[in-house]
Amino acid sequence: MKWGVAVKKNNGKFKLITLFFCTVWFSQLAYIQSDSFSEPVSPTDEMMLFQEIPSVYSASKYEQKVTEAPSSVSIITADEIRKYGYRDFGEILESIRGFYVTNDRNYKYLGVRGFGLPSDYSNRILVLVDGIRINDNIFDAPLIGTEFPLEIDLIDYIEVVRGPSSSLYGSNAFFGVINVITKTGRGYKGVEISGEAGTFDTYKSRISYGNRYQNGLELLLSSSFFDSAGDEHLYYREFDHPGTNSGIANNSDYARYKNFFTGIKFKDFTIQGNYHSRKKGIPTASYGTIFNSDTTYTKDERSWIDVKYEHTFENRLSVFGRLNYNYYNYSGEYPYEGNPAEGEAGVVILNDSGRGKWFSGELQVSKSFTDKHRTIFGASFHANQTQVQKVSYTGASDWGRLDDRRHNDNWALFLQDEFNISEHVILNGGLRHDYYKAFGGTTNPRVALIYNPLEKTTFKAIYGRAFRAPSVYELYYNDGGVTAKANNDLKPETINTYELVYEQYIGKYLRGTVAGFYYTLNDLIKQETDPDDGLLVFNNNDDVTAGGAEFEMEGKSDSGLEGSVSYTYQKTKDKQTGRALSNSPKHLAKAHVIIPVIKEKIFLGLEELYTGRRRTLSMEKQEGLPAGLREEGFPFDRYAGSFFLTNGTLYTKNLWKTLEASASVYNLFNKKYGDLGAMEHFQNTIEQDSRTVRVKVTYAF
């Protein structure tokens, strides 16, 4: 027993030492290997870091070298997704420098640059799939867990563009833009089937067909199904008394989804259709619902159909246009204790729903006047056909109701210009004006000065301003006065960000990045408890300042050995209270390595993630209570403790024809840790999964 305690105490020191030696090892690799680069290849090629310089599209809406992009960019490939055994989009994002993910056992939420307010719906990040806006028109949420609306096996690669990008993308492009590029038919050349099984009776199956025909037509069809019982025996000490099953939630953590995808490409036209539906049980008794009820759930449906045209003429004029139709439907059931003496049922069900339908369109024209000057001009519109929120109660006639219907449209004009001032200096600037029916217009710039003194050395100085429009949920939602009320006077948030970036290629096999940032965020939209009535409400009360630095080293060798190490320091402060923001870790560290056990056949992928301690919402919850109750509730967990998380995957391919197989272990050392609860949770921290496993087999015909 004493030995076990000693191991636990020294475990953190051991992992810090491991991170240090990984960093030293990658640095020494530069001197062991040759310093020549190979010719550029596709961004999805496994030898990606051997390119002279990889390219990115999403930073400026046209292909450019990452060293010329007005941002610090990361690219994640399908090969990395397979070899590290990532199970959902959130796990992929959590592996990226400076990003962290919070899971409240209903949804996953994304934090970046020290900002990740609990249950903020990740709506300060814009997520795209092949350039299609995924954020919905009710919550402005992109959905990143199993609720992410694309099957991750269909991802070819992901472009992560840091910093404000409202100059190109408008609202939600606050801290960055993430563009998911899907695979095409030519990558399959037939049928592929895949199956996986894991802890908590978790199963997933997929069948895909893709091909490119002689006439140039490309087709990709795919469907997948997922079912998990979740942890069937979750313990919450906040509910530990006989009336609530001694704090044990049984059979209420389940998740199920289905996904259908179609992609068609012919010459300059691309058509894409997607449908995703997920149902998730809620074990945490959020919003004061009945604890240990397997009838509490949310369901999210997201679908779109998109038609895209793009063509480049001989005079270097490029034309791009798209039109898409989008659908989002959310529904949830929340059980509350009723009072039969007042004519209510013993259990009253809150029926909560939101439905959105919208059309989006974009037209842009870009022109390369010389090799040193390129301009892009564009216009877009977003027509919200339907924005409906409803609340009703089954089992009670006087608990109130909501039937709110909106139709808030917006349009935008934008201009982006890239000019080579000299052989080594590039000026990149953009400006976009958005007009909203609800609150008027807003204009947001971005400018970057990029200096390349040497072929493999880049310095960037970047300034950007961005905004986020309040969602209809934040503006108009109320549940009849049970837990929440509306605030129709919200105005947009704004952010001003200053960044310095240094990027260096070292020899043939290493790339290093150092980035510093500082931002001021004004009119933050934040959910609070009104002390007058105890109801949750969104307000524009706060301003935030933050600064930080990021360090990363990436490496790859001819033998197939590859990996990365990164460290992020970030400090955020609420200007009104002087306190650090909740769910804002000062320290993030990540280490990844892929080891070829048998070259080109068997690989071991290891991942180590460190998250520093984070302040919980215990103080805000106490302040929101009536004065006489402030010392009685929420007594635990003023901080969520720091933790290391270790994941490992053994991946094989080419052992037998086209068979691929992998076995993964997550939370290898069975670390006990928690993520933050939000204002709707009684828990300040919500415990996460212990050690879990998954096996996966894929075969192509």
| The pLDDT of residue 52 | 62
Say what the pLDDT of residue 270 is: 97
Q: Which residue would you say has higher pLDDT here, 272 or 626?
A: 272
R_g of the chain computed on alpha carbons: 25
- Are 47 and 41 a contacting pair, CB within 8 Å? yes
**Range 52-66 average pLDDT:** 89
Overall average pLDDT of the 289-294 stretch? 93
Indicate the residue type of 574: D
pLDDT at 622: 67
Q: 23-32, 396-405, 564-573, 683-692 — which is least confidently predicted?
A: 23-32
What average pLDDT does range 422-445 have in this prediction?
94
pLDDT of residue 16: 39
Q: Kindly tell me if the per-residue pLDDT of 551 is higher than 50.
A: yes
The token pair at 487 is: 């605030």
Residue 636: predicted pLDDT: 57
**Among 68-82, 270-284, 473-487, which stretch is predicted with the lowest mean pLDDT?**
473-487
Band of residue 369 on the pLDDT scale cut at 50, 70, 90: confident
- Predicted confidence (pLDDT) per residue in 16-44, tens digit: 334 333 433 333 333 333 333 333 334 44
What distances in angstroms separate CA 679 from CA 139, 142, 287, 478, 536, one per listed residue? 17, 21, 8, 15, 8
Kindly tell me if the per-residue pLDDT of 624 is higher than 70: no
The chain-wide mean pLDDT, for the chain, equals 89
Q: What is the pLDDT of residue 30?
A: 35
Residue 552 has pLDDT above 90, yes or no: yes
Question: Taking the CB of residue 17, how many other CB atoms lie within 10 A of it?
Answer: 11
The whole-angstrom separation of Cα 36 and Cα 31 is 12
Tell me what pLDDT residue 661 has: 96
Name which of 412, 359, 366 is nearest 386 in CA terms. Answer: 359
Range with the poorest average pLDDT among 34-48, 351-365, 507-521: 34-48
pLDDT of 545: 96
Tokens for 394? Answer: 């089954």
Residue 434 one-letter amino acid:
D
Q: Is 624 helix (H, G, I), strand (E, B) or coil?
A: helix
- Can you tell me the mean pLDDT for 40-56? 54
In our burial notation (b when 16+ CB lie closer than 10 A, e otherwise), range 188-213 reads: beeebebebebbeebebebebbbbbe
Name the 3-class secondary structure at 525: strand
Does the 2-700 domain belong in CATH 2.60.40.420? no
DSSP at 694: E
* pLDDT tens, position by position, 436-478: 988 899 999 999 999 999 988 999 999 999 999 999 999 999 9
pLDDT at 51: 52
Please name the residues in contact with 184: beta carbons below 8 A apart, sequence gap of 6 or more: 156, 210, 212, 218, 220, 263, 265
Return the bridge partners of 226, or none. Answer: 204, 257
Q: What is the pLDDT of residues 157-202, one digit of tens each?
A: 999 999 999 999 999 999 999 999 999 999 898 999 999 999 999 9
For residue range 209-262, what is the model confidence (pLDDT) as tens digits?
A: 999 999 999 999 999 999 999 999 999 998 999 989 999 999 999 999 999 999
Question: In what helix (H) or strand (E) does residue 587 lie, and over which residues does it extend?
Answer: strand 587-598
In the chain, what is the straight-line distance between the N-terminal and C-terminal CA atoms, in Å?
53
Could you state, in order of their start, the residue ranges of all structural domains in the chain? 2-700
In this structure, the number of other CB atoms found within 10 A of the CB of residue 385 comes to: 14
Q: What percent of the chain has pLDDT over 70?
A: 90
**Tens digit of pLDDT for each residue in 448-459?**
999 999 988 999
The CB-side HSE value for 673 (13 A sphere, CA atoms) comes to 20
Those residues with Cβ within 8 angstroms of residue 55's Cβ, 6 or more apart along the chain or in another chain: 40, 43, 63, 64, 65, 66
- SS3 (DSSP) at 492: coil
For the cut 80, the answer to whether the pLDDT of residue 591 exceeds it is yes
Q: What is the pLDDT of residue 254?
A: 97
Mean pLDDT over residues 294-300, rounded?
95
Q: How far lies 101's CA from each of 218, 257, 262, 583, in Å?
A: 36, 21, 29, 10
Task: Report residue 541: phi and psi, to 5°.
Answer: -80, -25
At residue 190, the pLDDT reads: 93
pLDDT at 615 over 90: yes
CA distances from 110 to 20, 114, 346 (A): 27, 11, 38
Q: How, if at all, do strands 692-700 and 685-687 pair?
A: unpaired
d(CA 311, CA 379): 17
Task: Tell me which amino acid residue 423 is.
Answer: E
Give one DSSP letter per residue of 355-419, joined into a string: EEEEEEEEEEEEEEEETTEEEEEEEEEEEEEEEEEEEEEES-SSS--EEEEE---EEEEEEEEEE
The answer to whether residue 406 scores a pLDDT higher than 80 is: yes
Residues of the chain with pLDDT > 90: what percent? 78
State how beta strands 674-676 and 685-687 pair: antiparallel
Kind of pairing between the strands at 176-182 and 126-129: parallel
